[in-house]
Chains A and B, each alone.
Chain A
Amino acid sequence: MDEDERALSPEETLRLIEQQGAAAVHRLMPNPVPHYLAWGVAWFVGFGVLFLHHGLAGTPYAPIPIGVALALLFGLMALAMLVSALTMWQLGSPVRGVSQERGVMYGFAWSFGFFAMWMIAVRFGGHLPDPERNLLWASLSMMVVAILYMAGGAIWLIRPMFVFGAGLAVLNAVGTAAGPGWHALLMSVGAGGGSVAAGLVLRRRLRR
C-alpha cells in the first residue's frame, strides 16, 4: 500500500507506541501551568498585602486599607478562577465525553463552594471584630480551595494535587489558630509560593 506498511522491528514498534502516546497526551491533556501560576500569584500578592496590613504582632507594617487588601485578594482569586475554568473547559479541544463532564461538574463545585462560603462569611462576619472577620473570610476561602484540591487529586488520581490540598488544609488550620497576621504570612509564602513553585516545576517537566 504505502511506505508505512513496511514491517517494523519490535524495538521500532515499541518506540513508536511510546512516542505517539506521549505526543497524544501532550496535545490532548490540559496544560495545568497557567492554573498554578495564576493561583500562586493571587495568593502571594493578595495575602502578602493582607500580611502587611495586619502585621504579626497586631501593628501594621504598611498603611494599606483593609478594603484595598481584601479587594486585591478576592479580585486576584476571581481572575485565577477564570484561568482555571478555561483550563478545565478545554475550549477548542476535539475530545468530548466523560472527562469533559467531569471537568464541568468540578468547575461547578468551585462556584457552589465559594457561594456557600461567601454567605457564611457575610452572615457571621458581621458579629466579629475587624481582624477576626478578615481571618474568617481568608480561612473559609482557603478551606474551600484545600478541599477542592484534595477532591481534584482524588478524581483525576493526581497525587501531587491531593498532597498540595492536604498541605493547604494543614497550613490554613495552623495559621487560623495563630491569628490573622500569621495566617496571611503562611498563605502568602506557603500557598502562594508553593503554587508558583509547582507551576514552574510542572512547566519544566512538560517542556522536556
Chain B
Amino acid sequence: MTPELDPVIHAQARLRVVVTLNTLPEGDRIAFPGLKDLLGMTAGNLSVHLSKLEEAGYVEIVKTHRGRTPVTYVALTRRGRVAFEDYTAAIRGLLDAAVTPQPGDT
C-alpha cells in the first residue's frame, strides 16, 4: 500500500533510532549505551537495527577507546538525514492525501 516509503526507515524500531539520532546537531554523536537506554531496547536488538541502517549508509558507527574501555559512538550520516526528511515528507503527503477531500466530493 505504501511502496514509496523507504523500507529501511519504515520499521518502528529503526524509525525510533533515526528520529532520536536526527535530534542531535550535525557533528554530534551518541554513545551506544546512552542510545540503548534512551530507546529502551536491548543491546542485541539495537545492534541489529544499527547494522541495517549502516548498510544503507544512514548511520555511521565509530568504535574508539576511552582509556582502556572500548566505546562505540553512533551518528546519522548526511544521507541518513536526507532519507529521514524524505520519509517524513512522504508520510505527511500520505496524510494530506487522506485528509484533503477529492475534487467534486462536497
Contact = CB atoms under 8 A, between A and B. Distances in A.
A10 B20 CA distance: 19
Contacts of B10: 7, 13
Interface stretch (A20-28, A35-43, A176-184): A20-28
Contact of B23 (A4, A25, A93): A25
A98 interface: yes
Interface string B62-106: 000000000001010000000000001001101100100000000
B30 to A, nearest CB: 5
A11 B2 CA distance: 13
A100 B31 CA distance: 13
A62 B101 CA distance: 73
B25 A10 contact: no
Contacts of B38: 23-24, 27-28, 94
A207 interface: no
B3 interface: no
Main SS of the interface on chain A?
A: helix
Contact of A94 (B12, B26, B30, B92): B30
B43 interface: no
Contacts of B20: 20-21, 24
A120 interface: no
Nearest to A93: B34
Contacts of B12: 4-6, 8, 16
A97 B28 contact: yes
Contact of B88 (A5, A17, A24): A17
Interface string B15-49: 11001101111111111011101100000010000
B28 A98 contact: yes
B98 to A, nearest CB: 7
A10 B94 contact: yes
Given A4-B13, A17-B15, 18 more contacts: A2-B13, A4-B12, A10-B95, A11-B95, A13-B10, A17-B91, A20-B16, A24-B20, A94-B30, A94-B34, A94-B38, A95-B24, A95-B29, A96-B73, A97-B27, A97-B75, A98-B26, A98-B28
Interface of B: 2, 10-13, 15-16, 19-20, 22-31, 33-35, 37-38, 45, 73, 75, 88, 91-92, 94-95, 98
5 contacts: A17-B15, A25-B23, A28-B23, A95-B29, A95-B34
Nearest 4 pairs of A and B residues by beta carbon: A94-B34, A98-B27, A97-B28, A4-B12
